[in-house]
Amino acid sequence: MSVMAVLVFGPGCKSSCRQLAEKLCSCAGNTNELNACNQAAANEQGRIGTTSADEVVCQALLPGCDCHTINTTAGKQACGLARQPPPGGVVGG
């Protein structure tokens, strides 16, 4: 019965950060890389967890993260893999 509950209710209960990680994993080149990435994401979530602030950030990143742009600076920023530029583009004052 518990296995059935996981299958039925599990996908809807994933955190935003887990969903974002799985979205990034879906960019993998093949099934083996996809499976390894998803397993690593699950392990890390279990090891360090996420805060409510993390979940807010991940939720905001989900819609803009796209495998087609992941290799660009803007794509990395949209997926949370790179920092956003500072306001005005000035670095180091």
Question: pLDDT tens digits, the chain, 93 residues: what are they?
Answer: 333 333 333 445 789 999 999 999 999 989 999 999 999 999 998 898 889 999 999 999 999 999 999 999 999 999 999 988 777 765 554
The pLDDT of residue 14: 85
Q: How far from 18 is each of 7, 21, 27, 81, CA to CA, in Å?
A: 16, 5, 15, 15
pLDDT, tens digit, for every residue of 69-83?
999 999 999 999 998
Residue type, 44: E
3-state helix, strand, coil in the chain (%, to 5): 65, 0, 35
